[in-house]
Structure 1
Amino acid sequence: MENLEPLEIVNGQITGLVKGLIALIPNLIAAVILLILTALVAWGISALVTRILRKSNARPSLRDAVGKLVKIVVWALGLLVAATILFPNLTPTKMIAGLGIGSIAIGLAFKDIFENFLAGFLILLRKPMRIGDDIECESVSGRVEHISIRDTFIRKRSGELVLLPNSYLFKNPVKVLTDEPLRRIEITVGVAYDEDVDQARDVITKAMEGIPSDKSDKPVQVFAKEFNSSSIDFMVRWWTESAPIDEHKSRDKAIASIKRALDDAGIEIPFPYRTLTFKEPLPLSGSSSAQDA
């Protein structure tokens, strides 16, 4: 009989476990039904919110982000209620207390993820940066292709795709090059000191005729800027389309036109001059042989 006691204990435990599982079947069915309802509610509310945002002309990326956030909130509430149904002893107070303790560890472990998540929403709420804009942020520049909750996809002008964490874009200054249809370009042109400043200004101004964009009603500006080491520098400014390729094309036309006009007018564009001084006179090569002769 003593040998049968362990078997009876195991048998009793298994029997109690089976009875407990059978007793949980109604709760399990209720929890599953609740999860199905949660899925339907999450889908319905997300679709409704997305439809409302679409009517308000919100960005597609923002609509997707808000829809995902709504689903996460609904699912979190549904799982919380399902857990209390499945395990009656697990009250909401105990779960919230457990989440409060665990949230510290979760927050430390997923700090970067949460930071990028919040930064992603703030970026999507910003009006200046849109899909298709050309931007510059620190050493990264290119066209914005997609903005997700965690990353922003930047297509560099050389073709590579860069995934920037949203927190990086949120913390650092971002220059949106295509925020306006037109952007001002500036170059520096130097002429020799022997040249007439007024004549050089007139030649440069005439050379820039037709270079600015047809959409711009702002005149070309040419100013004498500074006395440089080898030249008098002029600052030349004009407006053209804001896309980088339009900037390159306009800059190319301007430089070629100014160079051609200055050459035709006989105005020198000087090379850098260097004047070297020595503490003591330098002997000239061959001077001793010349004196001997």
Structure 2
Amino acid sequence: MRQSLSELFERLSHIGIWALGLLLAAMVVFPGLTPAKALGGLGLASIAIGFAFKEIFENFFAGVLLLWKYPFEKGDFIECQSILGKVENISVRMTTIRKTNGELVVVPNSFLFKNAVNVLTDQDKRRITIMTGVAYSEDADHAVSLLQQALSQCETVDQQHPIQIFLNGFGDSSIDIEVTWWTGPTPLDHRRSRSEVVSTVKRTLDEAGIEIPFPYRTMTFKEPLEINQKPFKSD
């Protein structure tokens, strides 16, 4: 059984045992009390309690659904709105997330249930895409071939998935090249692999003498510019 599902059954069992224990205790203290009367009174009281503790019950049922449908587990890296981190604990009311900078965030379950959650570690690998470019005077097809060979030697690039390098379009100063590969799923894997690939792309193109251009600007004027030269005076 999945860990989250096991914990859900355990917590619901605790709640059920406590409720049954309180009911039996009440029947002992009040001999005229029957289960039917107790449940009827509980039904009326639950309406008032529900309005008073609406947010608590909302988070509780959201937590039950999160644990039941297991969109993520403990140890998964998730991203929701501006929160990115590792799930440390999922309770029936809240979820604790350790952000990548070390901060601990306590998130109500209703927040995770109502908003889109990206589960970064749902699969063993994640795909990354970066853009680079070569000057218009360079052989773009040759650059693509060189990058394909170079990335096949990178340690952080998963060789079980295809490395995809395509000419993407005509940029302002370069022929744009799209570089896509697969690596580990965690944020650290992502950053480490991106750093290695960017370094490899730069080094490969530099060694081949292929220019990675910066933005060029060509300025034209309606009228010719006059150039005035002042004589140089030496001391």
**Normalised by the size of structure 2, how large is the TM-score?**
0.85
Q: 1:214 to 1:139 in 2, by over 3 A?
A: closer
Find 1:113's aligned residue among 47, 51, 56: 56
Alignment of 1:42-191 (within 5 A): 57-59=1-3, 61-191=4-134
Conserved? CA contact 2:156–2:196, under 8 Å? no
- For residues 188-224 of structure 1, give each alpha carbon's deviation from its aligned partner in whole angstroms, at most 9, with x where no partner exists: 1122222222122122222212126576422311001
The alignment's C-alpha RMSD in Å is 2.6
Could you tell me how far apart the structure 1 residues matched to 2:50 and 2:220 are? 66
4+ residue runs over 3 A deviation: 88-98, 212-216, 273-278, 281-287
Runs (5+) with no aligned partner, structure 1: 1-56
Conserved? CA contact 1:116–1:166, under 8 Å? yes
Conserved? CA contact 1:135–1:141, under 8 Å? yes
Give the number of the structure whose residues are more often helix, by fraction: 1
**Corresponding residue for residue 205 of structure 1:** 148
Of the structure 1 ranges 91-100 and 188-197, higher mean CA displacement relative to structure 2 is found in: 91-100
1:241 aligns with 2:184: yes
**Corresponding residue for residue 253 of structure 1:** 196
SS of equivalent residue, structure 1 residue 188: strand
Could you tell me how far apart the structure 1 residues matched to 2:75 and 2:15 are? 29
Letter in 2 for 1:83: A
**Corresponding residue for residue 229 of structure 1:** 172
Could you tell me how far apart the structure 2 residues matched to 1:271 and 1:86 are? 84
Could you tell me how far apart the structure 2 residues matched to 1:260 and 1:227 are? 23
Conserved? CA contact 1:212–1:240, under 8 Å? no
Bigger radius of gyration among the two: 1
Letter in 2 for 1:165: P
Higher RCO (C-alpha 8 Å, min separation 6): 2
Identity of aligned residues (%): 52
Q: 1:276 to 1:168 in 2, by over 3 A?
A: farther
